[in-house]
Structure 1
Amino acid sequence: MFEAKARPIAWPLFSFYFFFCCLVGVMMPYISIYYKSIGLSASEIGRLMSTFTLSGILVPHFWGWLTAKVGLPKKVLQLAVLGCFISVIPFNWSDQFESLWLITCTMALFYSALIPMTDALAVRSIRNLNVPYTRLRVGGSIGYVVAVASTGFLIGHFGPSVVIPVMCSYLLLALITTFFIKEQIYVVSQAKESTSFISLLRTKEAMLFFTLAFLSYMSHAPFNVFFAVHLENAGYSGQQIGLLIAFGVIMEIILFLFCGNLVKKFHLLHIMILCFVCGAIRWFLVGWFASILWVLVLTQLFHCVTFALFHMVSIEWVRGLFPERYASQGQAMYSAFAIGLGGGLGMVGSGYLWEWLGDAWVFTIASCISLLALLILWASQYRR
C-alpha cells in the first residue's frame, strides 16, 4: 500500500485517520439515538449536533495560527486530541440539555480543529513522497465502517448507553497514535506576497466554490444528524442501520483507493454536477422510500459520489484556488464556511423542521438544496 521509504510517515497518519474517524463513525450516526434515549427533543438534538460544525467557523483559524506560531504541528495536534478526550468523559454523567450543551461546546473547541489540522499535516508530510492524499484518507473511511458496524451491533445488544464509552475508547487510541507521527516542522514563509489571501477569496471562482460547498454540506445535515433516527422510525434494527451506513462508506473506500486521480481526468465543474444530481435523487428517495430496503441500498451507493467524490473535488479545487503559501488558510476557510457554517446551519434547521414538518419533508428540503446548487452552477456557466 505504501512504498518502504514512505511507511514511517504514511502509516501513523493512516492510523490516526482510522481511529479518529472511528470516533466520527460512532458520534455522527448514533449519538442522536443516545440523545433520544435520554429524553431530548429533535430540536435539542439538532442544536447539540450543530455545535460541532458551527464551531468550525472560527476554531480552525485559531489552531492554524497556533501551529504557525509554535512551529510544531504534532504537538498542537496532540494538545487538541487530549483536550477532546478529556471533554468527552463528562458525557457519561450528563443527561440534561444545559449541561450537555456546555460540555459539547468545550469538546467542539478541540474536535472542530482535528480534521483540518490533520489534512494540512498529511498533505505537507507526503509532499515529496509517492503517496496520494486519498491513500491516507481511506484509513478514516475504513475506521468509519468498522465503528459504524460494530457500534450498531453493540447498540442492538446493550442499548444506546454504550455510545459514550465507545467514543472515549476511540479517542484514547487516536491520542496514543499521535505519538508515532513523525514531526513535520511548519515553515512560515517571510516573503512578501503580491496577492493577498482576501483578494483570492474575492475572485468569482472562489466565491462559486465556497457557495457550492456550503450548499453541499447543508444538504448533508439531515443525514448526519437524523439518518439513524429516520431508519429506526422506519422499523430497522441497530444492526441493519449499522450495515446500511457501513455499505455507503465501503463505496467511499473503493473510490478513495482506486479513483484518486479521477478528479484530474475530468473538469471539476462536470464532477460537481454529478455530485449534486446524485444528491437531489438521494435525499428525495431517503425521505419518502426509506421503508424499501433496495432503495436505501441504492441511496447509500450514492454516498461515494455525494460525499467522497465531492470531498476529492473540493481538495483539488482549493489547491487550484490558493498557492502553496495560502494552502492552510484555504483549507481552514473551506472547513469554516462549508463544513462549519453550512453544516451547522443545516443541522439547526433540520432539527426544527423535523418537529414542524416531519422526517420525509426534511430530506425533501435537502434534495431541493442540491437542486439549488445545480441552478447556481448552470447560472455561473451561462453568464460566461
Structure 2
Amino acid sequence: MMQMSARPALVLAYFTYFGVLGIFVPYFGLFLDGRGLSSADIGLLLAIVTASRIVGPSVWALVAERTGKPLLVMRCGAILASMGWLSSFADYGFWPLLCGFALFSFFWTAILPQLEVSAFAFLNDDTQAYGRIRTSGSVGYIVLVMLGGWLFERYGSEFLPLSALLFLLLLLCSLFLLPTVTVNAELSSEHVSFTKLIKNTVLVRFMLAALLLQMSFAPFYGFFTLYSRDLGYSGTQTGLFIGLAILAEIVAFYFAGSLMRNRSYRLLLSICYGVTVLRWYMLATLADNVWLLCFSMLLHAGSFAIAHSCAMQFIQQFFPKKLRSRGQAMYAGVIFGGGGAIGAYFSGLLWQNGAGASLTFTAAALLALAATFLALTLPGGKGAGKTLQ
C-alpha cells in the first residue's frame, strides 16, 4: 500500500482513531441499555472491559520496544481489535458481550500509546505541531458524535456495531498509510532505570492526580447519554451537547502549545482540574437548564484538552527517549485503564438506573477536587519540564 508524508498521515490516523471513540464512548451505555443490561451490569461491564487497558498498553509497549516497530504493533492491534468488535453484532447476553469487548479493548490499547510516541518522533517533540495535528482526532470525534445522535434517533442503539466497525476498518487503512518510523533510531545511549523513575515522588503525585481525574470522568463517559435522555433531551440534542464539548476541545488543542509555553504544570493542571470540579457539579445540579448544560460542556476545553496536552508533554519530558514508549504505556494503563475501570464500577453502583445521577456527578466533582489539591503540589516554576526529576 502507498504511504503518505508524516503529517497528513498522522491527521488521518488521529481522525479515524477518535472517530471510532466518537461512536463507542458516548453511545455505548445506550447500546448496553438497549440490550437489556441494568446500570449495575453496565458499570461492571465497563469496569472489566476498561481494566483490560491496564495490562494491554505495557504488553504492547514491550513488543514495540523489543522490535522497534511501533507501526507494526499498531496495525496488528487494529486488525485484532476489529475481530473482537465483531462480537457486538450478536446478542447472547452479558458474558459473550463482556468477552468480546474485553478482547476489543485489550487489542485497542496497542494503538494510541504507539501513535503518540510515533507522532512526537515524526514532529521532533514539537508540542505546538502535536497540538494542531491532535485536533484532527477531536474533529473525528465530534463528527461521529453528531452522526451517532442522528443514527440513534433513526435506527436506535443497534446502529453502533456496524458504524464503529466501518471506522475501525478506516483506521486500519490509515495506519498502513503512515510512513515507517523506527523509534530505535531516536534512542539515547544513556542508561536510566525505569523502576527508579517511576518511584520519583513528582511522577507519583502527577499520576495519582491524573488517576483521580480520570475516575471522575467515568459517569460522563458511561452514563451521560442515558442522563440526557432521562432529562428529556433528544438524541440529536445529546449529540449537539457532546459536539459542543469537542468543539471547545478542538480550539483548546489548537492553542495548547502556545498556552503551555513557559508555564508550569502546577499552574495549568490545577486550573484544569479545578474547572473539572465546576463542570461535574453543574451536571449534578443544573443539567436541566439547557444553557448551563451547554456552558458546562465548554469546560471540556480545560478539563480534557489542556489537561491531556500537559500530561503528554509531562511524559515526554519526564522519560528519556529510550523509555517513552513504556512511559506512555504506563500512563495509558494506569490512568485510562485503572482510573476508568474503578470509576466505571463505582459509577454503576451509584447510578441506580438514573435515581443516583446527581449523587454520582457530585462524587465525581469531589474526586476532581482531590486531584486539584494534588496538582498544587507539583513543581511550580516556569519551564517546569526542567524540574520534573
TM-score bin, normalised by smaller chain? over 0.9
2:181 pairs with 1:184 = yes
SS in 2 for 1:132: helix
Task: Out of 51-60 and 104-113, give the one that drifted further.
Answer: 51-60
Deviation at residue 378 of structure 1 after TM alignment? 4.5
1: CA distance, partners of 2:91 / 2:138: 30
2:254 pairs with 1:275 = no
Equivalent of 2:144 in 147, 150, 155: 147
2: CA distance, partners of 1:377 / 1:20: 29
Equivalent of 2:313 in 313, 316, 327: 316
Task: Out of 60-69 and 20-29, give the one that drifted further.
Answer: 60-69
2: CA distance, partners of 1:109 / 1:345: 17
Deviation at residue 381 of structure 1 after TM alignment? 7.9
Deviation at residue 91 of structure 1 after TM alignment? 0.8
1:214-250 CA-to-partner distances (Å, cap 9, x unmatched) read: 1110111111111111101100100000011001001
2:5 pairs with 1:8 = yes
Residue type at the aligned position of 2:68: G
2:86 pairs with 1:89 = yes
- Counterparts of 1:256-295 in structure 2 under 5 Å? 256-295=253-292
Equivalent of 2:133 in 126, 131, 136: 136
Aligned to 1:59: 56
Equivalent of 2:373 in 369, 372, 375: 375
SS in 1 for 2:183: coil
Conserved in 1, the CA contact under 8 Å of 2:73 and 2:111? no
Deviation at residue 51 of structure 1 after TM alignment? 3.3
Per the alignment, do residues 135 and 380 of structure 1 end up closer, same or farther by CA in structure 2, a change over 3 Å counting? closer
1: CA distance, partners of 2:279 / 2:309: 19
Conserved in 2, the CA contact under 8 Å of 1:9 and 1:181? yes
Equivalent of 1:254 in 247, 251, 255: 251
Q: TM-score, normalised by structure 1?
A: 0.93
1: CA distance, partners of 2:127 / 2:208: 33
Aligned to 2:322: 325
Residue type at the aligned position of 1:262: L
Q: How many correspondences in the alignment?
A: 376
Conserved in 1, the CA contact under 8 Å of 2:206 and 2:375? no
SS in 2 for 1:40: coil
Aligned to 1:3: none
Equivalent of 1:360 in 343, 358, 381: 358
Q: Which runs of 5+ in 1 are unaligned?
A: 1-6
2:245 pairs with 1:235 = no
Q: Which runs of 5+ in 2 are unaligned?
A: 381-389
Task: Out of 204-213 and 123-132, give the one that drifted further.
Answer: 123-132
Deviation at residue 69 of structure 1 after TM alignment? 2.3
Task: Out of 354-363 and 307-316, give the one that drifted further.
Answer: 354-363
Residue type at the aligned position of 2:81: C
1: CA distance, partners of 2:375 / 2:183: 37
- Counterparts of 1:39-78 in structure 2 under 5 Å? 39-78=36-75
The share of aligned pairs that are identical, in percent, is 27
1:284-303 CA-to-partner distances (Å, cap 9, x unmatched) read: 11112111100111110000
Conserved in 2, the CA contact under 8 Å of 1:38 and 1:95? no
Deviation at residue 53 of structure 1 after TM alignment? 2.7
Q: RMSD of the alignment, in Å?
A: 2.1
Conserved in 2, the CA contact under 8 Å of 1:263 and 1:316? no
Task: Out of 373-382 and 246-255, give the one that drifted further.
Answer: 373-382
1:103-158 CA-to-partner distances (Å, cap 9, x unmatched) read: 11111121122211211111112228897111221111000000000110111112
